[in-house]
Structure 1
Amino acid sequence: MKIDVDRTKCVGLGLCEAADPEHFEVNDDGKLMLVRDSFTEDERRAVEEAVRSCPTAALRIVGALS
């Protein structure tokens, strides 16, 4: 599974980073950086929380676990 970011919607508030710093980081310029764009089933809960925390709906989960 992968994390997809709609950069046209992301405003860099950092709520995703607060929810899951293993996958998300807002840099000094206020731009979201994906630390890792894929995740395991064990990490899914944290990623889903980060996706839900985004007030602009800029994040989504795509694909399936292999």
Structure 2
Amino acid sequence: MKVHVDFDRCASSGTCVQLVPDVFELGDDGYLYLRDEEPDEDLRDDLDEAAEACPTDAITVLEA
């Protein structure tokens, strides 16, 4: 599984960070960072929820 963030669309709202902090983080500069581009499959449900909750639809979860 691979996670893609369209940083041109991302508003750094932090919703994804709250849902999957092992994969996403907000930096001190206020921007979103992807901590793990290829997370374990056991995070699939949480990542799908984060993608669905993203207010700008910037997150995509892809098959590896």
- TM-score after normalising by structure 2: 0.89
Q: Which letter does structure 1 place at the counterpart of 2:36?
A: R
The CA deviation at 1:40 is 2.2
RMSD in angstroms over aligned alpha carbons? 1.1
The CA deviation at 1:63 is 2.6
Unaligned runs of 5+ in 2: none
CA deviation string 1:20-63 (max 9, x = no partner)? 10100011212111110112221111111111111000110123
Q: Which letter does structure 1 place at the counterpart of 2:21?
A: P
Runs of 4+ in 1 over 3 A off after TM superposition: none
1-structure distance, mates of 2:54, 2:43: 18
Unaligned runs of 5+ in 1: none
Identity of aligned residues (%): 39
2-structure distance, mates of 1:5, 1:59: 5
| Match runs of 1:1-66 below 5 Å | 1-64=1-64
Task: Give the aligned length.
Answer: 64
2-structure distance, mates of 1:12, 1:28: 12
